[in-house]
Amino acid sequence: MITDISELERNDLLPQLWGVHMKAEFPAHLRGREVEGEDLVLLDADVAGCVSSSLSSVLDERRRRTLLKCIEVLEKVLPSISDEDGTRYYERLHEMARLAAGLGDIDG
């Protein structure tokens, strides 16, 4: 029986967010851009790979460390993404990374 709310959130919310993310187009104006010295396409790919792995099996320690680093990077770059589409895209990545890493959602 699952009693930890963050585990409940992860089990319900992460697959939903992943489904939305898989249908979303990468913001074209951010392709090839660096923000705060970070490559946004690479950041997207790193998070997506780890999240995808976490949905199919237990997240290994290497991927969890990768997600924790990506969370730090996302928190650094998000304030510098000024358009609504880009912000929404990277906020969703941030929330998925937190959930997959077992940190709960961004409001929790």
Distance CA 40, CA 62 (A): 21
pLDDT, one tens digit per residue, over 93-105 is 999 999 999 875 4
Distance from C-alpha of 101 to C-alpha of 61, rounded to nearest angstrom: 10
Q: Are 38 and 77 in contact (CB under 8 A)?
A: yes
How crowded is residue 19: how many other Cβ atoms within 10 Å of its Cβ? 10
Q: What is the pLDDT of residues 61-92, one digit of tens each?
A: 999 999 999 999 999 999 999 999 999 999 99
Residue 5: band (very low, low, confident or very high) from pLDDT cuts 50, 70, 90: very low
Tokens of 73: 């990077």
Contact 86, 31 (CB under 8 A): no
pTM for the model stands at 0.84
- Condensed to tens digits (0 to 9), the pLDDT of residues 32-45 reads 999 999 999 999 99
Instruction: For residue 57, report the phi and psi dihedrals to the nearest 5 degrees.
Output: -160, 175
The token duo for 50 is: 């780890």
